[in-house]
Structure 1
Amino acid sequence: MNLHTTPHNSRATRTTRRLAALAAVAAMVVAGVQTGSAVATPGESDAPSAAPSTAAALGVNPSAQRATAIRAAQAETAPAAKALKLGAQEKLIVRDVITDAQGTVHTRYERTYAGLPVLGGDLVTHTAATGKLKGVDKATDAKIAVASTTPKLKSTAAGARKVIWAGHGGTPVLAFETVKTGVQKDGTPSRVHTITDATTGKKLHSYEAVETGTGNSQYSGEVEITTTKTDAGFELTDGDRGGHKTYDLNQGSSGTGALVTDDDDTWGDGTGDDRQTAAVDAHYGAAKTWDFYKSALGRDGIAGDGKAAYS
């Protein structure tokens, strides 16, 4: 899927101030997990102090900090949608907020139309610390609108949900999405998503959400790793092991970082020069750890609650 970058020069002072405030919140979140504070007290000025370098040492919960940034962004989705000139029935749902080393805030959104999920309608905004919107990456440039949200056909598949299909750059249509679970030939769990036109019954798209990628690790050679297919490609999410995710801190010392993604499901080159190589070692090692607890101790995950940590 190609992303289209659209420059944006908003003249609305109110919108700019809102975006600046949002950027400030995200920046404070990053600062909160990357720096400590030193307060001098009598008799301590000459004493050496150890500066904590990790979120744990600082007593900061990276997940909580990320959640704070997402909540702040979600509170501003209405003015953000207006600034992006979305339709009256479109709403934004914040999925992630990342601040880079230059202070630019990257906010990833999913969209809904008349309350229905828009598949293939993702977008990412890039906002300077001043609040100026520097650009937008869109999964589609098509206008999100359908004549009616009442389907002409009825889906006979159990668990089918109504969606707006905007994938592959075509005209958005009302559709049904069904998910069929099972097991693949190699024993890997299967979750096949199928999109069907709710007017004609035509199959529009189908994909396997649980994939087996090829990882070129530095310490274990070529290995198979469980990944997840998305509209944009693949991500290091292991749906077979509690949804374990592998992130890239991008030289940071704390926080969560960005989820590692790829275009072709072949990861790393086996050397330390490729950042994905380290991600493969982390993802593969986490899978082996999960498998050990499962086979040796009968646990689903380290805590036995079926929930994965993240790398």
Structure 2
Amino acid sequence: MRKHRRSTTARRAKAGAALAAGLLVAAGLQFAASASEPDLKRSVADAAGNVASHPRTFGYGPGQELRFADAVVDEDGTRHIRFGRTYYGLPVIGGDLVVHQDRRGRMIRGSRAKGYSPVVPSLEPAVNASETAAAARAAATGIRKAVAEPLLAVWAVEGTPRLVWQTTVSGVGDHEQPAGLVVVTDAVTGGLIETYGAQHQARGEGRSAYTGKVPLDTTPRKGGFALVDPVRGHVTKDAGNMRPGRVNAGSGTVFTDADNRWGDGRTLSRDRATAAVDAHANTALTYDYFKKTFGRNGIRNDGRAPTVFVHVGKKWDNAAWDDDCFCMLTGDGDAARTPSR
């Protein structure tokens, strides 16, 4: 029996490692400059194996699959690998877990939510999707042209896990701005569990390298703000000087700030957020121009927003649009280069 258990654990670890490695390309990586991408791929694969080898620590078991979220590396080499998870294909709300590793990739400890277990008695809802959608639209007062999209999920934030409907209601507000509400209800009893806004907006102040102080539409996040425009939808990221040909939509790191004041206004700034100020603000201005002048909803008139990258390449004296990535790429230029005439 003991030999069989070890063999089963080994198979689970191998399967978990393969799963995590396969997800890296789609999800992208956040990593410190001192760590290479192959090293992190190995760390994520090892972390998936750690989860499979320590099921009690993470509440991991049959029917569950890991979904790689992000990886962060500290200056001392300590690594923190975060996963989401599904339970028989359903997303687990509150099912996030983190594997903490030393610089050699060995597991130090694990972290997970208080109500981490996703095991529920049944995956069949007693309340159907249409009833749920109607109730969610009724709860979303102040949202016009409302469309409700219920998603069956497992609620594992705290206490006993429950099968739930997570319904996103999308529409427009009083000024035609995008508006939304997420309504979480018990899929068995129909009782309300939680509601929260799907659209969060803050007004930040940017110090542009060229035009002085400019307003920025940002999104509040725990501990600060992110350069994510909740009105127009675009996201501004630091490409970390990655080569242009390697950049995809999952690359780089979203700019964040504690006080919603961005950049230092200098033309040759060492503050990496200064370039982001111009990129984020000008993308918003472009969207607004085409919306007001031509009635277009986004670049392709389909509502899709681009990902905007600054600090692409090293001394890359160029900018480019990548339609496959649906991204705008901007380099830092080369101050020593004499412009051609």
TM-score normalised according to structure 2 size: 0.57
Q: Name the structure 1 match of 2:155.
A: 165
Could you tell me which runs of 5 or more consecutive residues in structure 1 were left unpaired when the two chains were aligned: 1-11, 36-64
Amino acid at match of 2:179: S
Distance 1:288 1:70, change over 3 A: farther
Aligned residue runs from structure 1 range 51-66, under 5 A:
none
Shift of 1:115: 1.6
Aligned residue pairs, count: 254
Shift in Å, 1:196: 0.3
Distance in 2 (alpha carbons) for counterparts of 1:227 and 1:172: 30
Q: Distance in 2 between matches of 1:188 and 1:69?
A: 43
Q: Which residue of 1 aligns with 2:93?
A: 119
Residue 328 of structure 2 is matched in structure 1 by: none
Task: Determine helix, strand or coil for the equivalent of 2:94.
Answer: strand
Correspondence list, 1:40-51, <5 A: none
Segments of 5+ residues of structure 2 without an aligned counterpart are 1-8, 134-147, 310-341
Report the Cα offset of residue 301 of structure 1.
4.6
CA separation of 1:151 and 1:69: change in aligned 2, threshold 3 A:
farther
The residue type paired with residue 238 of structure 1 is D
Equivalent residue in structure 1 for 2:123, among 131, 144, 149: 149
Aligned: 1:95 with 2:80: no
Partner of 2:283: 286
1:238 is aligned to 2:229: yes
Structure 2 CA distance, aligned partners of 1:69 and 1:129? 10
Structure 1 residues 88-135: Cα deviation after superposition (integer angstroms, max 9, x where no partner)? 222111133455555444433211112211112223333344221234
1:81 to 51, 58, 64: 51
Q: Could you say if the C-alpha distance between residues 140 and 247 of structure 1 is closer, same or farther in structure 2, counting changes exceeding 3 Å?
A: farther
8 Å Cα contact 2:164/2:186 also seen in 1: yes
State the shift of 1:149 in Å: 1.6
Structure 1 equivalent of residue 252 of structure 2: 257
The residue aligned with 1:204 is 193
Classify 1:253/1:295 alpha carbon distance in 2 versus 1 (closer, same or farther; 3 Å): same
Per the alignment, do residues 125 and 187 of structure 1 end up closer, same or farther by CA in structure 2, a change over 3 Å counting?
farther
Query: SS state of the match for residue 160, structure 1?
Result: strand
What percent identity do the matched residue pairs reach? 33
Q: SS of the counterpart of 2:49?
A: helix
- Pairing of 1:205-224 with structure 2 (within 5 A): 205-219=194-208, 221=213, 223=215
Partner deviation per Cα, 1:148-207 (whole Å, 9 max, x = no partner): 22223334126422111123x343211111121111234321232111011221111112
Q: Alignment RMSD, CA only?
A: 4.5
